[in-house]
Structure 1
């Protein structure tokens, strides 16, 4: 069975997009609604910088179409500060902060590692083993949160039991080894395909039943857009991966000069 291709952007609140991608006069509180009408998925990246609230996740859920899906970026406290060690409580806090309020619109969870964190099989396997694989498991984990998420701001219940998907974006070339890919495959964690204008490793290894793609800029990190030839090439890859049974999630992160939403729309035209 062929997979589905979803294309969107990483975040949606950018002042430079107003009067360009967002029509002049569109109020900020309706920007997500506007973007979601043109895309099938968006990556929430505010969750990387700080714990959000259940009311925020619920509002985002309600502002998007029924068939919409969010990816959620895991907290940098887990990946960059704790560096994947002793993260049981931080993981509980992350899941208690409201992620589960997305309900059926909760898509894959992204874990981005810093460039200075080399591959350590024991460390990575230990982290993978703690990741919840269903929303019910995530709710049980969330119940172990500490006071960083007050009880009156914690969400530790779910409306239904659904599978959870995870993806890993590494930025150290030490992960580009058969051993690392085998570990991701063993734990059913997707290896992120990251296009970073040559700054960080680019790997296209299949390690799960879904493909997670982050397009950070074709020739200039975070800044350059994607021309027709580049978009045609990415569209061909997306169709191939989907044809091989993978669900494909693509997010443009070349937001600095406003290219991301326009590139997303142009890629959608090529894969639909």
Structure 2
């Protein structure tokens, strides 16, 4: 396979900088463009702290695609921009690899239809850490036998969405195999609004936002005389890079959209 040409939207952010470092050290893929309005004209490598790469930031996905002709667009931007970026990429025949939260199920259906029209792939992953993907899969399996469940996700205080995409994906996987029923006491009342967390298909999701945290999630299962906890901790953003690398490689083989990294792993 020839070198995969990769553009990174959000390359000046913390996740984007890790992707830049990944592309710098990995054979078989080349960084051709970094996209960030706040860093236009700066060298992408210098912003990422790895020295001059000779690749300067552009201000938009449209400009990067027209100028640098990438094969893949990796997107770690914001929920309000991600769908537009994906649409622009697909229209130009560029394959999106998306780690940004904010796409609805309807968004995913429509983007999948565009992928199939174009005959190219896309991957949307709520979490690229392999351990987190396993945590989600194991949680879904456990919920068949211990259906009383709550999700607690913890992220840094700069995260824009709550609950996290990982928590939502975990809840979806659980709901696929667990019949909906409302947990807790039937006359339960919140004396402080939101104390019981967000309601999803009969169970609850709780979001914590604090400085010093990267990305963590635990899924609690209760049964008579027992508690099962399935937890994953990302201690730094490098933990996501093996999954990003896998997605960049795999998306070149696809002709449709894949939602969730578990669908390209041999599980």
Q: Same fold (TM over 0.5)?
A: no
Q: Which has the larger strand fraction?
A: 2
Q: Which has the larger radius of gyration?
A: 2
- TM-score (ref. length: structure 1): 0.31
